[in-house]
Structure 1
Amino acid sequence: MSFPDAIKSVFSQYATFSGRARRSEFWFWYLFLVIVAAVTGILLGIVGAASLDATTGTLGGAFYVLTSLVSLVWLALLLPTLAVMVRRLHDQDKSGFFWFMSLIPLAGPIIMIVFYATTGTVGPNRFGQDPKVAQASTAPYEASVSPAV
């Protein structure tokens, strides 16, 4: 699954907590979140520096408007992020409630990274068909025959 396909897949399943998600879908989504965070951080820095009043040390209204918009964007990205996390756990035949392990201080995030990076169940499990098989069956046929000389 490519980067654009993964982003489209997550947005098309915006609040879908059922089914399974491949590792590529999950990690490309996190790459997308890192890019969004970098862009919004740079924008906030530029607008904050431009709207700073040096004499009083206060920020202008543009900074607060942009901060509100960035907060709305992150709020809108929260639900699909939780959904893809749960679907990734489903790929390993784990309940979505395993997500709460990430709240355990220190060890929880490490355990969750291991879960997210581990290969999913091969073949169908109680959460649905193997997403690798499902994607392979919808891919266009490519002949692997070498050309005749």
Structure 2
Amino acid sequence: MNWYLDAFKNKYADFSGRARRTEYWTFILFHVLIIFLLAFLSGALSELQLGSIGAILLVIYVLASFIPALAITVRRLHDTGKSGWFYLLTLIPYIGSFILLIFTVQDSEPMQNKWGPNPKGPNTDEINEIGKPVEF
């Protein structure tokens, strides 16, 4: 939840730097959950003839979250060594979004790239540490 709130508080329109997979996917998880909840609320309120209130809340949220979602996606592309302009691939029907999904799932570039140092830092990949003996 902290990654989600951080995208709104500290990095609202920050298109520079890099974003780890954890930061990106945590934001996307909460973003999609909130959209689903607001859509459900809109549908439930439409039964009470108040559907326009729910729809207005959904539109306000989508408009308010558009820039943070775009910014975190651009930072995620930077982390994989791609330019933020690759986001425009989503304009290609069907395949563009699939290609963007593949780019966002890829691991970070291990070293510093032109958008900054690796946000994981050296030797902080938890998956690679599984099974290794713990030193006391």
Please tell me the TM-score bracket, short chain as reference: 0.7 to 0.9
Q: Which amino acid aligns with 1:83?
A: A
Q: Distance in 2 between matches of 1:9 and 1:131?
A: 15
Q: Distance in 2 between matches of 1:104 and 1:5?
A: 32
| 2:56 alignment partner in structure 1 | 68
Q: Distance in 2 between matches of 1:97 and 1:16?
A: 15
Q: Distance in 2 between matches of 1:18 and 1:128?
A: 9
TM-score of the superposed pair, with normalisation by structure 2:
0.84
Could you give the per-residue CA deviations for residues 70-118 of structure 1, whole angstroms, max 9, x where no partner exists?
2111100000000000000000121100100111112111111100000
1:22 pairs with 2:17:
no
Extract unaligned runs of 5+ from structure 1.
Answer: 52-61, 137-143
Could you give the per-residue CA deviations for residues 102-138 of structure 1, whole angstroms, max 9, x where no partner exists?
111121111111000000111211001111118x6xx
1:133 partner SS: coil
Q: Distance in 2 between matches of 1:131 and 1:8?
A: 18
| 1:41 alignment partner in structure 2 | 39
Choose which of 58, 68, 86 in structure 1 pairs with 2:74. Answer: 86
Q: Distance in 1 between matches of 2:2 and 2:118?
A: 17
1:1-149 to structure 2, matched below 5 A, reads 4-11=1-8, 12-51=10-49, 62-133=50-121, 146=136
Contact 1:21 1:88 in 2 (8 A): yes
Moved more, 85-94 or 34-43: 34-43
Distance 1:8 1:68, change over 3 A: closer
TM-score of the superposed pair, with normalisation by structure 1:
0.77
Aligned length: 125
Q: Distance in 1 between matches of 2:23 and 2:109?
A: 15
Contact 1:15 1:80 in 2 (8 A): yes
Decide which structure has the larger Cα Rg and report it.
1
CA RMSD, 1 decimal: 1.6
Q: Which amino acid aligns with 2:24?
A: F
Q: Distance in 1 between matches of 2:105 and 2:3?
A: 16
Q: Distance in 2 between matches of 1:115 and 1:23?
A: 11
